[in-house]
């Protein structure tokens, strides 16, 4: 079953996703910096932010792969097959 956050990401446009990734990356880096300097009340926020950022990047990549043509998909499959060896 898909998570609620994943379903929400599917509703975003490509531009909105790109902006969200940039915004989330900046916020994540600032939070890590703040935690290193003065500490956070709840350091588990960093873990949640990291997972949310990974969800965003995964959705962006999934859309990129979906837009690839047949030649690019075949080349990608060959590269992935070489990695498995």
- pLDDT tens, position by position, 24-63: 999 999 999 999 999 989 989 999 999 999 999 999 999 9
CA distances, 9 to each of 43, 51, 76 (Å): 25, 13, 25
> Which residue pairs from 66-72 have beta carbons closer than 8 angstroms and sit at least 24 positions apart in sequence?
none
| Angle at CA of residue 29, ends 23 and 34, nearest 5° | 125
Which of 85 and 33 is assigned the larger pLDDT? 33
Count of CB atoms within 10 A of residue 56's CB?
21
Residues 6+ apart with CB under 8 A from 57: 21
Structure pTM? 0.80
Domains contained in the chain, CATH given:
4-84 (1.10.287)
């Amino acid at each position: 079953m898909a998570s609620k956050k994943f379903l929400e990401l599917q509703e975003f446009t490509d531009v909105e996703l790109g902006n969200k990734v940039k915004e989330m990356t900046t916020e994540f880096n600032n939070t890590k910096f703040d935690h290193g300097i003065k500490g956070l009340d709840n350091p588990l926020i960093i873990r949640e932010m990291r997972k949310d950022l990974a969800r965003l990047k995964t959705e962006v990549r999934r859309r990129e792969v979906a837009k690839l043509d047949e030649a690019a998909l075949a080349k990608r499959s060959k590269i992935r097959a070489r990695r498995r060896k």
